[in-house]
Structures are given as C-alpha cells and as structure tokens.
Amino acid sequence: MNKLPDEIQKKYERFKLEWMLAHGYTLADLVKELGEIQEDCEPGEPIGSIFDMWEHDVGFGSEIWPCFDEWRECEGKEPQMSDTGLRRKLERCLKVAMSREDLGCQIPHIVLTLADVMRNPAYHSPTMEVWCNYFLERNETPATGTHRLHLTCPRCGNTGWIRRDDGWECAACGEFAYTEDMGTAAEEIGGDTV
C-alpha cells in the first residue's frame, strides 16, 4: 500500500508532538520558546520562519526531535512484524488494571488496543507506547531486585533496571544493556534496590 506524501508528513508531525510529550515538553513550552525567538526578529516575521529558526538553531535547550530524513529511516519505518513489545506492555497494563479496583475504568481501553495489536501484525502506535510507559510507571509495582539507576532506557524512558549476569534489563520494556555500555553509573548505583 503506497502512502501519500501528505500521510507521511502528518505521521512525522504527530511524531514531533509525541516526542515533545515523551521528553516532558508541552505545546505551551513550544509557544513560550517561539515567543522568545520572535522578540529578536523583525516585526511581521512569519511564524513559520520563526519556527524554522527555532527548530534548526535553538530547540528545547538545544534538544530537538530527529530531522525528517533521520526519522524516516528510524522511527518512521513501518514495522515489519507484530509489535510484540507493545503487546507485552499492554498485557502488563491489563494485569495491573485488573488487580486494582481504582484502575478498572482503563480495562476497556487496554483490551480494545490489545485486540488491535493482536488482529493487525503491523499495528504500531507511538502514542500508545507513551501511554503504556506512563501507566506502568505510575501504577506497576517494581519487580523485586529492580535497581533505580540515574540512566534512562533509550527505548521506553524507564529508570528501573534488573541486574542480569552480563548486564542490565529494563524492568519496563526488557531492553538489554551490557554492563560496559552502562558505564560507571551502574556500578555506583547498583546497590539501590527497590
């Protein structure tokens, strides 16, 4: 199925919004940043060019989402097989929601999304990934032996790690990192068990 360039551009724009949320920024933060840039511009400068200047030169404290080409090669690629990581996270969310009366209202939402994932092998939703990470971080009891490191999982943003023989496993998504890749931070904080 061929995608129209408009559809791809809309996916990229959606990714930028999701990137902002995942990195703790809101639309209000973006508007504030653009207002600060606008103060240094000529009167009547189009907002589009102000945004372009901000995106290419400033960002959120020099932090910005990947450019379109980089996104298209990485995050924007269509998944080749079932997103089993999302499926596992949804199953964990469902287990947590079913075990707590105060979270029961989330069960229909989780079940419907889980059904979509199981029905469509190419299903992918960065928004749902962000929601699952947030839900699990707020509501899931950390696994016994989980260590809180001052390191963030590059895949899901979690800071809970489980010590394994040759490295560390993210407690939220299962991402694995070898001890030598974690650096000294893992050794310094490794005893901080939750």
Q: Kindly tell me the sign of the dihedral angle through the C-alpha atoms of 145, 134, 15, 58.
A: negative
113 and 130 both lie in a single domain: yes
Give 163's strand partners.
Answer: 168
d(CA 177, CA 94) in angstroms, rounded, equals 27
**What pLDDT digit, counting tens, does each position of 11-29 carry?**
888 888 888 888 888 899 9
> How many helices (H) and strands (E) are present in the chain, helices listed first?
9, 4
Pick the last residue of a domain from 18, 40, 73.
73
Instruction: Please report whether residue 37 resides in a domain.
Output: yes
Instruction: Please report whether residue 164 resides in a domain.
Output: yes
Please state the pTM of the whole predicted model.
0.41
18 and 61 both lie in a single domain: yes
161 and 121 both lie in a single domain: no
Residue 75 DSSP label: T
Instruction: Please report whether residue 194 resides in a domain.
Output: no
Q: Is the pLDDT of residue 187 over 70?
A: no
The parent domain of residue 14 ranges over 5-73
Rounded mean pLDDT, 117-129: 75
From the CA atom positions of the chain, what is the Rg in Å?
20
**What pLDDT digit, counting tens, does each position of 44-74 carry?**
889 889 899 899 888 888 888 888 888 888 7
**Residue 168, Cβ neighbours under 10 Å: how many?**
23
Residue 58 DSSP label: I
